[in-house]
Amino acid sequence: MGLCARCALAKTAPTRHLAHMVPVSFPSELGAPLDFAGQELVLLKSHALYWPRERALLVADLHLEKGSWYAQTGQMLPPYDSRATLERIADAVKATGARRVITLGDNFHDDAGAHRLDPYAAGMLESLIRALEWVWITGNHEETMPQESGRAFGAAVTAEMVVNGITLRHEAKPGESGPELSGHYHPKMRVRVKNRHIARPCAVRGRSRGAGDRLIAPAFGSYTGGMDAGAPEILRALSPAQSIDAVLPAKGKLVSFPLYREAA
């Protein structure tokens, strides 16, 4: 597709969704319904995805222990990012009733990150994993994870997995022909509102004829920056596509910003 044909950002418009898509009991203030590959998903304001059918919470790019990694290079940041990230996961689990957590890679900021967890954060992580069905999908920031028999902190470890026909992996695979959920790019939507520049984490969804929907999830970790949602790297990752949109929740509805449209 002609990536240089990125369209100008249009006025925000709520994306259409089915009234029955999300259980009525789900609090709209927590996020917005997202129609994806025939499945009911919820894009949470916390930057996670909730999959009601699977009772699964999907979180991308935790980058645990990024603060302590920076400290090793002399750049001092408050060393509590792992605690904050894990507390937000616990809050999202409680709010949604999730029974499973599936990460989408870059779980720790580096291979040694798991060994730098302070006892409090390690205890939080172990408690979450004991209480839930937890799966680590690995990313480019961790070639290895401390594990025995394919598990880490008592949880399963895999490079990718397929759930209900949807491939879950860390980095979107250009040319993928089936439904795919991934992370890696930390997309952010940058808009100007009343002379103010606002940048918010978002998801990016690609759609095409004859292929499944594909979605890049927002980064969940406390110390994660962001790439412009319309960056060429993101558009290439979701190619080929008829349309690519940045999506984020606002007042219980999904707001969509067009990033690319296939030429007629």
Residue 24, domain member (yes or no): no
Residue 86, domain member (yes or no): yes
- What is the number of other CB atoms lying within 10 angstroms of the CB of residue 2? 10
Distance CA 199, CA 261 (A): 22
Residue 67, domain member (yes or no): yes
Question: pLDDT by residue (tens digit) across 80-112?
Answer: 889 999 999 999 999 999 999 999 999 986 777
Residue pair 186/226 in contact (Cβ under 8 Å)? The answer is yes
Distance CA 48, CA 88 (A): 10
Distance CA 152, CA 111 (A): 12
Domain span at residue 94 reads 3-17+30-261
CA triple 252-256-261, angle to 5 deg: 160
Domains in the chain: how many in total? 1
Residue 225, domain member (yes or no): yes
Residue 93, domain member (yes or no): yes
Question: pLDDT by residue (tens digit) across 169-185?
Answer: 999 998 888 999 999 99
Distance CA 226, CA 119 (A): 29
- Secondary structure class of 33 (helix, strand, coil): strand
- Residue 191, φ and ψ in degrees, nearest 5: -135, 160
pLDDT one digit per residue (tens) for the chain, 264 residues: 433 333 333 333 333 343 344 444 567 789 999 999 999 999 999 999 999 999 999 999 998 987 665 556 766 666 788 999 999 999 999 999 999 999 999 998 677 777 888 899 999 999 999 999 999 999 876 666 666 545 688 899 999 999 999 999 999 998 888 999 999 999 999 887 777 888 899 999 999 877 779 999 999 987 777 899 999 999 999 998 999 999 999 988 999 999 999 887
- Tell me the CATH number at 70: 3.60.21
The token duo for 93 is 């689990």
Please name the residue ranges forming H helices in the chain: 66-72, 81-96, 113-116, 119-131, 232-237
The model carries a pTM of 0.85
Residue 25, domain member (yes or no): no
Residue 239, domain member (yes or no): yes
Residue 192, domain member (yes or no): yes
